[in-house]
Amino acid sequence: MDSQVTVVSNPLVEVCITSTIHSSEVVRRFNRGITIAELKQKLEMIVGAPASFMDLEVLSVSGKFLQKMDNDEALLGSYPVDDNCTIHVIDKSGGQMGEFSDVSKVEKFELSDEAYDKKTDSARAFMKRQGIGHFNDEKMAKKKAELAAREEENKVAAEAISVGSRCQIQVPGQPTKLGTVMYVGTTDFKPGYWVGVKYDEPLGKNNGSVNGKRYFECETNYGAFVKPLNVTVGDFPEEDYGLDEM
């Protein structure tokens, strides 16, 4: 008795999608039982080209042209479409390569701050209703009071610091540094009181000037500005690195 062999192929096929208007490729799975017309509708969402202006080609895994898919009523499975092959979309509507990824051609949507403030479904409106962030009056008032108190402490600390004093700088998250006080007072670059320091080592950020205005003289990377509360004035001799020893 002769045996009969039945071959059942996978109803789904995984293919690469390329097009004349995109340089990249995507991988998608399709049912072999859909028509070419239905395939084009799905491809429209992937590549952005109108289905009615598409020509489709089947390419082998190596990129060799196999067949043109020119019958919209035919099933996908009737063409030599196997896993990892390519379906290439040719857009006949006039689209150019990169047209849908070039954001410079997209008109920028702008909304004035006044108009945005009037919207009731925005993130700002939600934050106002919930009293979140800077819309929390009580929290903001408390924060403002804490900042004012802190700045008053910095002012008092600054009055006790004299130019020419040796000092130790302790900024949270940074190593302790030694230096000499070169400037005490307010600045143009940030509000409040600041102490200009010339470090003993090149651990600073400037040469005594910020944004073109000079506050004191020192070598590059030896100067820095710190808040008065981070400065301790005292007998802090310069480190002896043995440079005079033989």
Per-residue model confidence as pLDDT tens digits over 174-219: 999 999 999 999 999 999 999 999 999 999 999 999 999 999 999 9
pLDDT score for 103: 57
Complete domains list, the chain, with CATH: 12-91 (3.10.20.90), 159-233 (2.30.30.190)
Give the Cα-Cα-Cα angle 80, 81, 87 (nearest 5 degrees): 115
How many CB atoms within 10 Å of residue 83? 12
Per-residue model confidence as pLDDT tens digits over 71-95: 999 999 999 999 999 999 999 887 6
User: How does pLDDT run along the chain (246 residues), one tens digit per residue?
Assistant: 454 544 446 789 999 999 988 888 899 999 999 999 999 999 998 888 899 999 999 999 988 999 999 999 999 999 999 999 999 999 988 765 555 555 565 567 777 888 878 888 888 778 777 777 777 777 878 888 888 999 999 999 999 999 999 999 999 889 999 999 999 999 999 999 999 999 999 999 999 999 999 999 999 999 999 999 999 999 998 866 555 544
CA-to-CA dists, residue 244 to 180, 240, 241, angstroms: 22, 9, 8
* pTM of the entire predicted model: 0.46
CA-nearest of 30, 32, 39, 34 to 9 is: 32
Q: Terminal CA-to-CA distance of the chain, rounded, Å?
A: 106
193 and 226 Cβ atoms separated by less than 8 Å: no
- Strand order across the 65-69 sheet: 22-31, 12-19, 86-91, 54-59, 65-69
CA-nearest of 224, 229, 162, 217 to 192 is: 229
